[in-house]
Structure 1
């Protein structure tokens, strides 16, 4: 591998996704039904346009690792252990891959993301809601 192949955001994304078992929308829905934690990192304006994901917790990307690390004093109650299955969702499935890899680096080995993001969810005809969102600060 050359230096140019190991640098840049595309290389970072490729490395992040290499450690993920990414889910399609129907796999995501089934995993949530089985107890996986669905985490939406989209901005408020993106959620306003696209709608809210049913059952998702909204956590800003800037604090994601602190809210989901079971050892963090700033964790949310749902951060019950490092074996918790967490599915991160963004608008198109790019930043969610990086976020899921970050969660894995913290120790959440079952963290993954929704391939294609909310756009794939909508294309699959899966439901959205008008809110209110379960926003965790």
Structure 2
């Protein structure tokens, strides 16, 4: 097993990852969906309705409620945040990092955007 695969396993061990249908229900109940995919993926594949787009390279600064550079939605450390990338790998690593910042309910979407779309859940396309 590669070092990055071991890191991924450790990262996911601390997360309560959500299936696409669970993430959809969580968003309906007030969870913040956060798209960390590159712009070219969003343009080519679409977006999730209501998802906040935050580039991966500034994610921690935008979602840390104590950061002067946070987004308005990052209003408390116990808010449920569901990150997603293309397939659910980078989002697991990012969610684990948010947990280290004290965001106790940060998690990610199993299978990422592509699993959400494959499940037939709403997708916005240009």
Range class of TM-score, shorter chain: over 0.9
CA distance in 1, matches of 2:18, 2:86: 14
- Summarize deviations over 1:43-100 as a string: whole Å, max 9, x none: 1110111101110000000110100000001001011111010000000000000000
Q: 1:28 Cα shift?
A: 0.2
The equivalences for 1:52-131 within 5 A come to 52-130=47-125
Unaligned runs of 5+ in 2: none
Deviations along 1:4-55, one digit per CA (max 9) or x if unpaired, are x6x7100000000000010000000000000000000001110111101110
Of 12, 22, 31, which residue of structure 2 is paired with 1:27? 22
Tell me which of 38, 41, 45 is aligned to 2:36: 41
Distance in 2, matches of 1:26 and 1:34, equals 12
Shift of 1:123: 1.0
Q: What is the TM-score when the length of structure 1 is the normalising length? A: 0.89
Between structure 1 and structure 2, the one with the greater Rg is 1
Runs of 4+ in 1 over 6 A off after TM superposition: none
Unpaired runs of at least 5, structure 1: 132-137
TM-score by length of 2: 0.97
Query: What number of residue pairs does the alignment pair up?
Result: 126
Aligned-residue CA RMSD (Å): 1.1
